[in-house]
Amino acid sequence: MRIGIIGAGALGGTFAALLARAGHDVEVTARGAGLEAIRAGGIRLSGGYGDAHVHPAAGERLTARPDLVLVCTKAQDAEAAIAANADTVDGATVVVVQNGLDGVATAERLLPRSTCLGMLSIIAANYTEPGSVRVTTTAASYLGRGDGEPDEEVRRVAALLSEAVPVVAIPNFRGAQWTKLVVNMLNAVPAIVGRSVQDVVDDRALRRVVAASMRETVRVGMARGIRFGSLQGLGDRRLRFFARLPLALGQLLPWSMRVRMGDVPNLGSTQQSLRRGQPTEIDFLNGAVVREAEASGLDAPVNRALVALVHEVERAGAPLPAERVTAVLAASRRSRRNRPAGAAPGRRGR
């Protein structure tokens, strides 16, 4: 098939290399140094899926009408990237491979003639050098749309992509997006302190903050009426149980994710953006929790504080001391104590 990939970064580069290796005709979009590197030397993939060196066509926009499109940009870049390619891709099946909650809806609005699906990827890959991607954790990706069972198109695309990399057609995709949002809470703290995800979770004080942001995310999702989808051993029952736990026990959730990662240092996508001097997608991760909480009349003080700290690192260009992160929990408790009478109650941590 002719496959267009919008955004050839960590995930986009991984999918481009694996799909080209499987025999598909791949064209990618990239910008700046990444585009120059791909044009000059192709995409080099190493790590969990083995080594591959492919030479896809590359430009700032797709030039040939594809049969299938994967949108792999950061969440904050999706709208502009889809709009820039709309004339070429509208009418093709489009798969949005993205963190956050809004990607599929954005694609549907900009591409009215396309069938738009969403894909959640748990693959961990480091992209710190243009044109070079190292996969640190392999995992299945999850494809779907809406709240119901996977339809024929979802199953067809999942089977096609699975020829190159494992993709599972799932029901309740919207609920699975929320489950992935919980997983994405692993991103902020490593980005703030400039350490790997494994190193952060191994640190008990930092692990408590990660667990608190996850628990807050689950509680906001529950307030929004979400039935969490099954993803990487997480599902609705387990996450609701986690939301009721005291923080001391809730730390087992990020710890179990860390064990699954192995020992190859995983920087997380937010920290990788910082190291490349690019804006992060924090407003679409922890920031999404804050917005969804406000829509339910709740507060999300832990996630709100982490958003502010990531933006501080963006401005300063350097990590912050771990003490700035560990202070978040005490500040969130003070915020709850000082809430005016009659204000939205939120959830009290322990």
Position 292 scores a pLDDT of 97
Position 115 scores a pLDDT of 97
Position 335 scores a pLDDT of 65
Q: For the chain, first and last CA: distance in Å?
A: 53
C-alpha distances (whole Å) from 270 to each of 95, 145, 167, 195, 283 are 22, 25, 24, 12, 11
User: What are the residue ranges of helices labelled H in the chain?
Assistant: 10-21, 32-41, 78-89, 103-110, 152-161, 173-183, 188-193, 197-202, 204-223, 236-244, 247-250, 252-261, 269-275, 286-295, 301-316, 322-337
Burial-class residue 72 by CB neighbours within 10 Å (0-12, 13-18, 19+). Answer: buried
pLDDT digits (tens, 9 = 90+) for 162-199: 999 999 999 999 999 999 999 999 999 999 999 999 99
Low-confidence ranges of the chain (pLDDT < 70): 128, 334-350
Q: Whole-model pTM? A: 0.86
